Structure 1
Amino acid sequence: MRLLTTTLAALLWLAASVHAETLVGVAAPLSGPSAILGKQIEAGTALAAEAEGVAVQTVDDACTADGGAAAARQFVDAKVNIVVGFLCTEAIEAALPILKDANIPVIAIGVRTESLTDRRAKTGWPVYRLGPRGDDERNAVATILTRLWQNELFAVIDDGTIYGREIAETFRAAAEQAALKPVFVDTFRPQLDNQIGLIGRLKKAGATKVFAGGDGDDIAIMGRDAASLNAGITFAGGETLRTPPGDVPYAAGTLMIALPEWAEVADPKV
């Protein structure tokens, strides 16, 4: 929350320095499954606005295309100077054409879709991104693991989802360019109670390191089953490992490649 408030305070100060009387539109999912995140945005912007003396108008975009378009029309009617927020691609992509026509710039704080900014020259959308791009995670996995596992017998597996396939394939391709070849590549069946069969195949292939493109729960089960078979395998995954603890804890040594939590790296004196 502190990072969000500090960041938004800087944005609101910047907006206020341009417009003597500034009204900032805040787009956040205040309903639906992402409401808990939307409430954090709402609270952060309220604190930042109070500190900077800026007026805000918060609108529920519901993380949907219809919600994003409706929010954009409300911002246009209210004559806001700038819009911040948006966590979902569907909402912001529906809102941007409307906000573009009204010459209202947008600062996206959570949408990672690469095309949002890659297409900016073509679409003319006045959008700026605060969060990382979607391919930043994939590229980080590829860069870190090709260096870390260059002398290891490693495997690359995924759960068949778009996310899982893309992140696993990015790592596999980078490894190939670095003249590294996995000893095992496969797509696993997710959401099983156990992954004994998969672990058996990994062990037979000689893999000691495994990157899994999939959910944290599946990776936790793999780690448990690998330990039960004395397979000597260390698993790695992306940000999907950052989930609340499930019934099966992560095995010791499981590697997560992700941005650090602000609470873990921030100076408490700031």
Structure 2
Amino acid sequence: MRCLACLLVSSFAALTAPSAHAQETSIGIAAPLSGNFSILGNQLRDGARLAAEAGGATAIEADTRCTAEGGEAAARALIGQNVTIVVGFLCTDAIEAALPLFAEAGIPVVTPGVRTATLTDQRERTGWPVFRTAPRADAERDAVADILVPRWRENFFAIVDDGTIYGRELAENMRAAAELQELNPVFIDTFRPQLDNQIGLAGRLRRAGATHVFVGGDRSDIAILARDARGMDYELTIAGGEALRAENSSVPLATGTLMVGLPHWADIVSDDVRQTLQVAGIVPDGYVIPGYAATELAIAAARQADAEAGSVFDALSSGTFGTALGSLSFDAKGDLNEQFYRLFRFEDQTFQEVE
């Protein structure tokens, strides 16, 4: 068995060695093409395959099955095909099993699907050659604070959560960010979720003088709180996170409800990409556009490495690449420098971006 230090040294040497694919760019596409996640995997594969075709690259597919065993098998298959770079992965188990093999082979991976924070946080220790075009798992909580705290600094705002890990992390991070700016919420509380009404919570917010409230909770509780505040003739601006997109509610969501979340990718791509997908008969759902953009980036990085007689890893680490989702670049850990989270307002039964 090879020692860990030797493995890391050889992996780094392989990653930083000049590219040997000057004539042809071969892109590995790793996605769950069978099993419970095959619908999402096929979306990623369709987008990546179309981008490879448009970019004149050869696409080689491998099924990760969203398992550790599948990830390892996919890595071995793609390494055996001498791919230049790999795009894909939706599941943490699969990519974590594959990355040590890709590291040893000197093949970088661009993932538009795995959001687990530790994937890139461990780079210094693991040497894994992974770059993430998906938002980190903690990007939402940071975006909530970054977007709402400056907007609400002149308002009497409150912060409440439903006691879940998700809700509490969003709320606590916003409270900490406000405190750093010497802003104090007029009310902080944990409420009981999934009740038929939130009259008690609405009453406590009104007595505290809150005009705005961030709710770390789901769509149903936010809709009920808005209904009950309105029934009390209480004007209250309510904001939530991505959970507002995730589910329907028996109580309609109130007009004016704010959401910090990701856009629908089809709403922000260029007309050229939209037309390319339409001509190919591909509906831009789910991971289609993230897969397309990640593959565009991978092809551009591989060709930059060829032009500069450098490595694909170094090209990814230092370059900025035009994609269907705009210009993208990576920080030292392999996470995106760009922020996709935005503020939306619920109006005409849909979320519309707030300028």
Task: State the TM-score, normalized to the length of structure 1.
Answer: 0.81
Structure 1 residues 226 and 34, CA gap change in structure 2 (3 angstroms): farther
Q: What CA distance in whole angstroms lies between the structure 2 residues aligned with 1:247 and 1:196?
A: 17
Q: What CA distance in whole angstroms lies between the structure 2 residues aligned with 1:192 and 1:66?
A: 43
Name 1:263's counterpart in structure 2.
Answer: 266
Instruction: Summarize deviations over 1:113-163 as a string: whole Å, max 9, x none.
Output: 333223212210011122233333222211222111112221112233332
Name 1:233's counterpart in structure 2.
Answer: 236
- Larger deviation, residues 203-212 vs 61-70: 61-70
Structure 1 residues 189 and 99, CA gap change in structure 2 (3 angstroms): farther
Give the superposition deviation at 1:73: 3.1
Name 1:88's counterpart in structure 2.
Answer: 91
Give the superposition deviation at 1:255: 0.8
Name 1:9's counterpart in structure 2.
Answer: none
Task: Tell me if 1:40 matches 2:54.
Answer: no
Q: Return the match for 2:182 from 179, 183, 186.
A: 179
- Larger deviation, residues 162-171 vs 29-38: 29-38
The unaligned stretches of length 5 or more in structure 2 are 1-18, 274-355
Name 1:110's counterpart in structure 2.
Answer: 113
Name 1:24's counterpart in structure 2.
Answer: 27
Structure 1's consecutive aligned runs of 4 or more residues displaced over 6 angstroms after TM superposition are none
Name 1:74's counterpart in structure 2.
Answer: 77
Give the superposition deviation at 1:17: 9.4
Name 2:199's counterpart in structure 1.
Answer: 196
Q: Which amino acid aligns with 1:73?
A: R
Q: Return the match for 1:224 from 227, 236, 246.
A: 227
Give the superposition deviation at 1:251: 0.9
Q: Which amino acid aligns with 2:179?
A: E
Q: What CA distance in whole angstroms lies between the structure 1 residues aligned with 2:185 and 2:147?
A: 15
Q: What CA distance in whole angstroms lies between the structure 1 residues aligned with 2:218 and 2:20?
A: 44
Give the superposition deviation at 1:62: 3.5
Secondary structure class of the residue paired with 1:201: helix
The unaligned stretches of length 5 or more in structure 1 are 1-15
Task: State the TM-score, normalized to the length of structure 2.
Answer: 0.64
- Larger deviation, residues 27-36 vs 99-108: 27-36
Structure 1 residues 247 and 24, CA gap change in structure 2 (3 angstroms): same
Structure 1 residues 102 and 194, CA gap change in structure 2 (3 angstroms): farther
Q: Which amino acid aligns with 2:223?
A: A
Give the superposition deviation at 1:33: 5.2
Structure 1 residues 36 and 214, CA gap change in structure 2 (3 angstroms): farther
Q: What CA distance in whole angstroms lies between the structure 2 residues aligned with 1:187 and 1:32?
A: 39
Q: What CA distance in whole angstroms lies between the structure 2 residues aligned with 1:40 and 1:75?
A: 20
Q: Which has the higher contact order (CA 8 A, sep 6+)?
A: 2
Secondary structure class of the residue paired with 2:116: coil
Correspondence list, 1:108-257, <5 A: 108-243=111-246, 245-257=248-260
Q: What CA distance in whole angstroms lies between the structure 2 residues aligned with 1:64 and 1:98?
A: 15
- Larger deviation, residues 136-145 vs 244-253: 244-253
Give the superposition deviation at 1:171: 0.6
Q: What CA distance in whole angstroms lies between the structure 1 residues aligned with 2:22 and 2:233?
A: 65
Structure 1 residues 163 and 19, CA gap change in structure 2 (3 angstroms): farther
Instruction: Summarize deviations over 1:26-52 as a string: whole Å, max 9, x none.
Output: 122334554433221111122122223
Give the superposition deviation at 1:180: 1.3
